Chains A and B, each alone.
Chain A
C-alpha cells in the first residue's frame, strides 16, 4: 500500500474520529461551562442580595461606610466593593488591589451583573440599587472572584487535553502498528510471488537445458565408444593422442553430468543418521581422492548428534565444502564443530586457507563462479541448494590470508 493510500485508509478515519471527539468534547465543555457560570451567577446574585440587606441594616444603625467595609475585609472572594449614592457618586470603596475599581459609570448599562477579565482572573461584577429606608436609595457595586470556577474550568481543560493527547498517541501507535503489519504482510506476499515466478522460470530453463544436455550426452557417449575402438586399432605412436581425445570427451561428459545435476530439483529422502558417522565417511573419501599431506581434518560435537535429513545429499554438501577448504589450504587443520540448538544442528567449519577476497564473497554461492583453474563453480552452489532444500542456512566469513569459516544451520537435529 502506498503512503497516500495508507493515509486515506487508516489515518483519515482516525483523524475524523479525533476531530469529531474534539468538536463534541469542546461543545460539551462549553455547555457545562456556561451552565456552571449561570449557576455561579445565580448564587452570587443571591449572596449580593444578602449583602444588600446587611449593608441596609448597618446604614440604618448609622455606621460609616469605612466601618461597613471593614466588616467585609476578611472575605477572600470579594475583590472590591463600593457604595454609591442615588446620583451614582461613590461614597466609599475598598479593593484588594491598589486603586483598582473597574467601574465606569459611562459604560454601566442596565445590566445588573457582568463578568470582566483581569490579570487576577475572571471577576463577577454586580451593580444594583437598594433602599435601606424610604426616601433613601443607594447603589452597591461588588466584584466577586471567580477563581474557583476558573480552577474548575482549567482542570476540565487539562483533563480534556490529557485524554485527547492519550487517545491521539494510542491511535497513532495502533495505526502505525497496523501499517507495519500490513506492510510486512504485503512484503511477504510479494516475496512469495517473486519466488513463485523465479521457480517457474527456473523450471522452464531447467527443462530446456536438461533437454539440451541429454541431446549432447548421447552423441558424446557414441564418440567416447568410437575413441575407445580407435584407441585399440590405431598405431601405437598416435594412441597417446587418441587417449587424450577420449579424456577430453569424458571431461565434457562430466561437465554435462554436473550441469544436469545442478539443475535438477531435489527430492529429499530423509532418514535419521548419526552426524559424526556421515562426516567420517566424507573425510575418508576425501583422504582417498586428495593428497592431504600436511592437512588434518578434526571433528568435535557437543553431544551425540542425530540428523534427520537426506544422507546422500548431506554427504555431497559437506564433501563439496570440505573439498573447497582442502583446496584452499596448504597445511594446518580443518576444524569441524557441531552442536544442537532449538531443534537445529549447527556446524562450523574453519580452514586455515588463503581466505576469500571481499569482492568474491558475495558470489561464491553463485552457479559457475570459480576462482580455481580447474573448478567449474558448481560445488558451493550445490551445497547451498542442498542446505536450502532442507530449509537450512549457510553463511561464510572470511578474510584474505586468515582462513575461511562456514556456518551451516540445518533443522532436524
Chain B
C-alpha cells in the first residue's frame, strides 16, 4: 500500500523532475474520455502541475493495438496501491497528445479486481475532495 510502497516499485520507479509547463490540452477533457486495457511497462514519477507534488505515471501498453500510453494516476502520496511491471490494468480517462506521445489522465482504474476512482465524472480530483474511493468488484450474484 502507499506507506509500504514496495522496494520493487521503488527500483522500477524513475523520478523525473521536469520543468513545469502547462500545455493547453493537458486537462481532464470529458470529450476525449476513453477506456483501455493494457499491461504495465513502467512506473515513473513526474511533476505534472504547477505547485503540485509529483504524480505517479504508469506506462501502459494496450493489449489490442500494442500502443503505449502514459497514464497519469494521482499524486504519489495519495496512491495506496503497489503497481508491478507486467501486471494488467484497465484505465478510464481523458486522452490527450503531447509531443507525439499519447497520454491519459486517469479517472478510474481497475486493478487486481478493485475499482479505484481517482476523479469524478467531470475530472475533479478525488484527493482534493476527501479520501480516494475504492470498491471491490463483486463476483457472482447478490441475493
Contacts and interface: CB of A to CB of B under 8 A. Distances in A.
Nearest to A69: B22
Given A119-B128, A120-B129, A99 B27 contact: yes
A92 B75 CA distance: 23
A101 interface: yes
B5 interface: no
Contact of A99 (B24, B125, B129): B125
Contacts of A95: 27
B124 A100 contact: yes
A110 interface: no
Interface string B106-127: 0000000000000110111100
Interface residues of B, number: 25
A98 B52 CA distance: 8
Given A66-B22, A98-B128, A93 B27 contact: yes
A362 interface: no
B99 interface: no
A383 interface: no
Contacts of B25: 90
A104 interface: yes
Categorize the interface residue count of chain A: 20 to 34
Nearest to A65: B24
Contacts of B48: 98-99
B33 to A, nearest CB: 10
B31 A101 contact: no
B123 A101 contact: yes
Contacts of B31: 104-106
B49 A99 contact: yes
B122 A118 contact: yes
Interface string B18-31: 00001011111111
A92 B128 contact: no
A97 interface: yes
Contacts, number: 70
B27 A101 contact: yes
Contact of B125 (A97, A104, A105): A97
Contacts of A104: 29-31
A325 interface: no
Contacts of A375: none
Given A97-B125, A119-B120, A120-B124, A102 B30 contact: yes
Main secondary structure of the interface of B (DSSP, over half): loop
B45 interface: no
A116 interface: yes
B100 interface: no
Contacts of B75: 98
Interface in A74-107: 89-95, 97-107
A99 B123 contact: yes
Given A93-B22, A94-B22, A99-B49, A116 B28 contact: no
A48 to B, nearest CB: 20
B140 interface: no
Contact of B24 (A90, A102, A120): A90
A90 B25 CA distance: 7
Given A93-B22, A102-B124, A119 B27 contact: no
A105 B25 CA distance: 13
Nearest to A80: B27
A18 to B, nearest CB: 35
A118 B120 CA distance: 9
Given A92-B24, A93-B27, A100 B129 contact: no
B24 A119 contact: no
B49 A98 contact: yes
A91 B22 CA distance: 11
B122 A98 contact: no
Contacts of B120: 118-119
B89 interface: no
Contacts of A120: 124, 128-129
B4 interface: no
A119 B130 contact: yes
B133 to A, nearest CB: 11
A101 B124 CA distance: 8
A92 B24 CA distance: 5
A102 B120 CA distance: 11
A317 B28 CA distance: 100
B105 interface: yes
A395 B50 CA distance: 89
Contact of A119 (B30, B52, B124): B124
Nearest to B52: A98
Given A98-B48, A103-B29, 4 more contacts: A98-B55, A98-B125, A104-B29, A105-B31
Interface of A: 66, 89-95, 97-107, 116, 118-120
11 contacts: A90-B27, A93-B22, A97-B128, A99-B26, A99-B123, A100-B123, A101-B28, A102-B122, A102-B123, A103-B29, A105-B31
